[in-house]
């Protein structure tokens, strides 16, 4: 267990958790971390300079300046879709950097926490300061659309999952250069800037064995996990483009030197913030996606959208016994 960062081990392999993302000696182990992930900020360093913005406010200002100085380009590209966890992760990220909380895990309380002053400020920043810098028609963008906008030179800054950006340096997928080196001269990759708090979103996934599988299949699955989680295999996977969760693989030259964004992930691990580790996760995320997407697309007042999220999510937790069953 000590081979993994405690936050990654807790998030991907333990249940229940007394506190989200915190390793608990009394929690049951149901798997191991497989793929670690978070967002990286990708910016046009040929247009904006080599140094990334230091704060979220500075980032928004820099994106607007770049947009104003480069007609036809938009300042920001980010996930907004009402699907998977797209719009929800975007709001949760902004909520975190402006000092908000998603819930009080100990009290199992969302209403009054998510939509407090910090939460409302984050929603205002997202809808009224960031959305105007996004390309027209981007209200349902997710991973592929953000990558395409960056590669086609349509945006100054984009946010995306590190595990999903391998194609950004591929000349066959990019209009920014004919070689990876030429593209990298135009694109910078940095950890997300902080603001009132220093947090980044947790993505990725764990690796687990279904108890419904036949016993012999369970044994083979466990054998695969034992093989795959070996230090040398993890380093090989890292060198091939994977985002490992083992600490020794994360800190290895095989990983850190494989891609320019890998150091971003290694630097971001201590800043990770997860959502709610409860069985009601899917219901909670659907509520949030729908309402954040509506706010971003002008279908709902931002303040009302956040209040609706908090109230509806609270009902889900209360109906299930507070998310403990």
Question: The tokens 């980044």 sit on which residue?
Answer: 200
pTM of the model: 0.94
Q: What is the per-residue pLDDT for 23?
A: 72
Q: What is the per-residue pLDDT for 252?
A: 92
CA distance 323 to 277: 9
Are 302 and 128 spatial neighbours (Cβ–Cβ below 8 Å)?
yes
Q: What is the per-residue pLDDT for 19?
A: 67
Q: What is the per-residue pLDDT for 143?
A: 97
pLDDT tens series, the chain, 325 aa: 889 988 898 888 888 776 666 777 788 888 999 999 999 999 999 999 999 999 999 999 999 999 999 999 999 999 999 989 999 999 999 999 999 999 998 899 999 999 999 999 999 999 999 999 999 999 999 999 999 999 999 999 999 999 999 999 999 999 999 999 999 999 999 999 999 999 999 999 999 999 999 999 999 999 999 999 999 999 999 888 899 999 999 999 999 999 999 999 999 999 999 999 888 999 999 999 999 999 999 999 999 999 999 999 999 999 987 444 4
Collapse the DSSP code of 74 into the 3-class scheme (helix H, G, I; strand E, B; otherwise coil) and give the result.
strand
Partners of 200 in beta bridges: 272
Per-residue pLDDT tens digits for 221-278: 999 999 999 999 999 998 888 999 999 999 999 999 999 999 999 999 999 999 998 8
Q: Nearest to residue 161, comparing CAs of 198, 207, 204?
A: 204
Q: Nearest to residue 96, comparing CAs of 18, 201, 17?
A: 201
Q: Which residues contact 156 (CB under 8 A, 6 or more apart)?
A: 43, 44, 47, 48, 62, 63, 66, 67, 70, 73, 74, 75, 76
Q: What DSSP character marks residue 157?
A: E
Buried b (16+ CB within 10 A) or exposed e, 194-212: bbbbebbbbbbebbebeee
Q: Which residues contact 136 (CB under 8 A, 6 or more apart)?
A: none
Are 311 and 288 spatial neighbours (Cβ–Cβ below 8 Å)?
no
Q: What is the per-residue pLDDT for 18?
A: 63
Q: What is the per-residue pLDDT for 20?
A: 67
Q: Nearest to residue 38, comparing CAs of 229, 243, 177, 296?
A: 243
């Amino acid at each position: 267990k000590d081979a993994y960062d405690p936050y990654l081990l807790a998030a991907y392999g333990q249940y229940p958790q007394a506190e989200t993302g915190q390793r608990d000696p009394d929690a049951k182990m149901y798997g191991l971390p497989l793929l670690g992930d978070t967002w990286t900020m990708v910016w046009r360093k040929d247009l904006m300079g080599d140094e990334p913005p230091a704060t979220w406010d500075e980032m928004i200002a820099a994106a607007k300046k770049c947009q104003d100085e480069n007609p036809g380009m938009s300042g920001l590209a980010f996930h907004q879709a009402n699907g998977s966890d797209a719009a929800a992760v975007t709001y949760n990220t902004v909520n975190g950097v402006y000092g908000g909380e998603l819930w009080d895990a100990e009290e199992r309380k969302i209403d009054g926490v998510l939509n407090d002053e910090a939460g409302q400020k984050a929603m205002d920043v997202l809808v009224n300061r960031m959305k105007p810098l996004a390309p027209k028609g981007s209200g349902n963008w997710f991973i592929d659309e953000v990558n395409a906008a960056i590669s086609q030179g349509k945006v100054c800054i984009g946010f995306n999952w590190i595990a999903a950006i391998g194609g950004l340096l591929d000349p066959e997928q990019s209009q920014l250069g004919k070689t990876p080196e030429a593209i990298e001269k135009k694109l910078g990759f940095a950890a997300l800037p902080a603001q009132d708090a220093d947090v980044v979103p947790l993505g990725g996934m764990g690796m687990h064995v279904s108890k419904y599988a036949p016993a012999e299949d369970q044994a083979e699955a466990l054998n695969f996990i034992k093989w795959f989680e070996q230090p040398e295999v993890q380093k090989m996977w890292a060198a091939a483009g994977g985002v490992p969760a083992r600490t020794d693989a994360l800190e290895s030259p095989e990983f850190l030197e494989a891609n320019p964004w890998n150091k971003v992930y290694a630097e971001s691990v201590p800043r990770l913030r997860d959502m709610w580790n409860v069985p009601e996760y899917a219901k909670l995320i659907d509520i949030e996606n729908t309402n954040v997407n509506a706010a971003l697309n002008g279908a709902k007042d931002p303040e009302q959208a956040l209040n609706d999220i908090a109230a509806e999510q609270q009902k889900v937790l209360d109906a299930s016994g507070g998310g403990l069953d």
